[in-house]
Amino acid sequence: MSATAVKVEPQRTSPDQYTTVKARYPGRWVSAVVILGVGGLALQSVFTNPRFGWETVGKYIRDVSIVNGIGITLMLTAVCMVIGVVLGVVLAVMRLSLNPVVRTAAFGYVNFFRGTPVLVQLLFWYNLAALYPTISFGIPGVNLDANQIITPMFAAILGLGLNQGAYMSEIVRAGILSVDHGQAEAAGALGINRFHTMRRIILPQAMKVIIPPTGNETIGMLKTTALVSVISVPELLYSSQIIYARTFETVPLLIVASLWYIVVTSVLSVGQYYLERRYAKGGQRSLPMTPWQKLALFFNTHAPLNTDRLARKGGTR
């Protein structure tokens, strides 16, 4: 062994004689293998354990009462979110009012509904007849039986909608406050009154801040509707419960309900993405690409034969 052996580097005269070697990240491979391994084991146990009852799941996944339950869940979500958004805008504007009584009333509302569990509120509305057996709305001659009016469905809409209004008002208020004060000032200088300034100038800009959390709230609401099963509104969860109360196939039916909840929330997430994109208008110099556009761009630029397609379509990037 010649300890004095000297490695002779080949002589380099110009930089383009070097070949580049890409950086390697073995950690990425290791973590990917570990995750795939663990995930595979979990899936295997789920699908080979007969107690999951996948056959039963398949049998009930499109059952009429389950599908009807989804319908009621969706309807409840939509109606309660509409009530929540409208109420939220009204409460947010009230919170920003110059009148201290109006401001305090809105604050009191928000504080009350955020301060009590929505489950308690639902039970409370459901039992309203115990407090007011007849409802007259203060109009003489009107005497309605509370038990007839406050059906489980009505109690559910009232409970979830009024509660949602309190949460939405905070979101809307944050949105309104996020709009630069110069906007209201410019509108005022042009002679646009307060109402129109709010509706045409402030709220549309506040949307960019309001939409993303409202999407989250909608998905949250979809799942919260499961609570109304306690006042026997036949939505998705309650419909599953009715079936397993009869057949004792509890776990498979809970899986049926869960699968549907996941499907619907996934669809809602896609809707949320496009809504956010729409309200980003004017916020950025150009709209970000949708996943489809990104995919199309990928295939356009990576397909060997028609790389000039993109150029012909006038696409950039």
From the number of C-beta atoms within 10 Å of its C-beta (0-12, 13-18, 19+), residue 46 rates as exposed
**Contact between 192 and other proteins per CB under 8 A:** yes
Minimum CB distance to other proteins, residue 196 (Å): 5
Minimum CB distance to other proteins, residue 194 (Å): 6
**Contact between 191 and other proteins per CB under 8 A:** yes
- Residue 2: left if φ>0, alpha if ψ -120 to 50, beta else—which one? beta
**Contact between 188 and other proteins per CB under 8 A:** yes
d(CA 84, CA 225): 14
* Residues 243-302 interacting with other proteins (rule: CB under 8 A): 281-285
**Contact between 99 and other proteins per CB under 8 A:** no
Q: Which of 114, 281 has the CB closer to other proteins?
A: 281
Contacting residue, 106, 201, 209, 264, with other proteins by CB under 8 A? 201
Minimum CB distance to other proteins, residue 182 (Å): 4
CB 62 within 8 A of CB 146: no
Token pair 């949307």: residue? 207
- Residue 116: left if φ>0, alpha if ψ -120 to 50, beta else—which one? beta
**Contact between 122 and other proteins per CB under 8 A:** no
CA within 13 Å, CB half, 135: 12
Q: Which of 81, 179 has the CB closer to other proteins?
A: 179
Tokens coding 306 = 């028609």
**Contact between 200 and other proteins per CB under 8 A:** yes
Q: Which of 267, 287 has the CB closer to other proteins?
A: 287
Contacting residue, 186, 245, 295, 311, with other proteins by CB under 8 A? 186
Q: Which of 183, 301 has the CB closer to other proteins?
A: 183
d(CA 235, CA 264): 14
Tokens coding 297 = 């761009």
Backbone angles phi, psi at 119, to 5 degrees: -65, -40
* C-alpha to C-alpha distances, 57 to 16, 173, 238, 275, 299, nearest whole angstrom: 64, 44, 16, 34, 38
d(CA 217, CA 264): 14
d(CA 292, CA 295): 5
Q: Which of 37, 188 has the CB closer to other proteins?
A: 188
Which range touches other proteins (CB under 8 A), out of 164-172, 176-184, 229-237, 290-298?
A: 176-184
Q: Which of 58, 282 has the CB closer to other proteins?
A: 282
Count of positions on this chain that bind other proteins (CB under 8 A): 23
**Contact between 172 and other proteins per CB under 8 A:** no
Q: Which of 94, 203 has the CB closer to other proteins?
A: 203
Q: Which residues bind other proteins (CB under 8 A)?
A: 180, 182-183, 185-194, 196, 200-201, 204-205, 281-285
